[in-house]
Amino acid sequence: MATSPAPAALGARLRECFAADEFTLDEAERTVYGYDNSRREALPDAVVFPTMHDQVVALVRICRELQLPLVARGRGTNTTGATVPVAGGIVASFERMNRILAIDADNRIAVVEPGVLNADLQAALKPHGFFWAPDPTSAPFCSIAGNIGCNAGGPRAVKYGATRDNVLALRAVGGTGEAFRCGKPTTKGATGYDLVRLLVGSEGTLAVVTEATLKLTPIASAVRTLRATYADIGAAAAAVARIMAQPVTPCALEFLDDEALRLAREHGGEAIPQAGAMLVVEVDGEADTLSGAADAIARAARGDGLLDWHEACDATEVERIWAARKALSPALRTLAPNKINEDVVVPVSRVPALIAGLKALSQRFAIPIVNFGHAGNGNIHVNLLYRPDDATHAANVDACLDAVFALVLDLDGTLSGEHGIGLAKRPFMTRALDPVALDLMHAIKRQFDPDGILNPGKLLP
């Protein structure tokens, strides 16, 4: 990358396509856009606030001409450092490009700009009887472009898929400054390479998204919420495999291990049960079909180690059942503000082996590991409760994290289900991917972004 131009010169170039209030060179304001939820930070040379597609085209061309890095940013909720401008350059924050352009109920699609918040989209869709499937915990704050960048998921992904399964078409600008459209507002297509699915999860390293056509799903008329507690983690993990092997697909299947339950109980109160592990299960559909679906789930959940099976009878009980999951993140932040949160995925049948292996690693390295997450698709959030002031933790944390990823890869798993790679997991990519496949990814990167200006230093080793 070239040396950044002087602030006055950079400001003059940005004024070619942005109004005075649509960019900033002020250091204090730039600092706000230099970090994300990973707690990593770096200072960009400028921050711009696009409001239209043509501005993005002009911006990419300026960055290519000046050989300046360009980092597209949603709301910075990601945990991997994917939006930290480690090479300086320009951060493009899409918070002002936040219009819902169309809701087409007949064709079950919505067309949105990248800065629309997930929760705002859900609220707009609800009167039409639809939702967009991705529902990460950060939904009130995260943007659609951020969801696209890291292929966000959430509890509903077990039945309705993650972001990649729910984006039909994109408008974007590659690193050459050329704009293009890919995909169609149809749920089937077999015309050429699927560039939409390629761009989803690419963390802004291939193109800058300026518009997305999203697949919508009708809201179910009824939901049943169920809870199962188990004597130990192995029994719960085995139940997950049984539940996912029978024909009724739950719309949520969340897992909490014994340590997660203990911490949630301390933070959220005695309504949270004491057990070796817990599953929270939801099924949705037409009201007259749900009894049979709930019964099928219950049969699969039964087995050695089941302590209690309970079905919520009203909204208050639903809230009580979900209380443990909602209390967990605040509890973990309080106990270990520097915790390392990974979101690994293994085949569902190997969840029991993963959980057993993580328990062994916790004992081996003397670092508490708390496990919870979206067990229905094998996506477990592995939290290393790392405290830098603890000499044992400081000495062991790198080796422990390395061993966690080695375990996951040995189980034919992958490094991330929905958080992405960013900076945090980039060093492990050579172990996670076939070398020929990795070479192909580098070639794709060069094709989209020949000068390497788009989010440099992220994702690919």
**Distance spanning both ends of the chain, measured CA to CA:** 17
Q: From CA 276, how far away is CA 288, in angstroms rounded?
A: 34
Query: Domain 100-218 - what CATH class?
Result: alpha beta
Q: Can you tell me which residue has the tokens 């015309």?
A: 191
- Cα 154 to Cα 232, 373, 406, distances in angstroms: 25, 9, 24
**Rounded to whole angstroms, what are the CA distances from 108 to 83, 146, 158, 211, 312?**
31, 22, 20, 17, 31
Tell me the average pLDDT across 371-394. 92
- Cα 165–chain centre separation: 14
Q: Please check the confidence at residue 59 and state whether its pLDDT lies above 80.
A: yes
CA-CA distances (angstroms) from residue 380 to 144, 237, 346?
23, 11, 8
Reported confidence tier of residue 57, pLDDT bands at 50, 70, 90: very high
Over 90: is that where the pLDDT of 264 sits? no
Q: Is the CATH number of domain 223-410 3.40.630.30?
A: no
pLDDT at 331: 76
* Alpha-carbon span 119 to 125, nearest angstrom: 10
Buried b (16+ CB within 10 A) or exposed e, 249-265: bbbbbbbbbbbbbbbbb
- In this predicted model, what pLDDT tens digit does every residue of 274-300 receive, in sequence order? 999 999 999 999 999 999 999 999 999
Q: Hey, where are the domains in the chain?
A: 7-93, 100-218, 223-410
Give the pTM.
0.94
Tens-digit pLDDT profile for residues 329-352 = 777 777 777 788 899 999 998 998
Q: Which CATH number fits domain 7-93: 3.30.70.270, 3.30.43.10, 1.25.50.20, 2.60.40.10?
A: 3.30.43.10
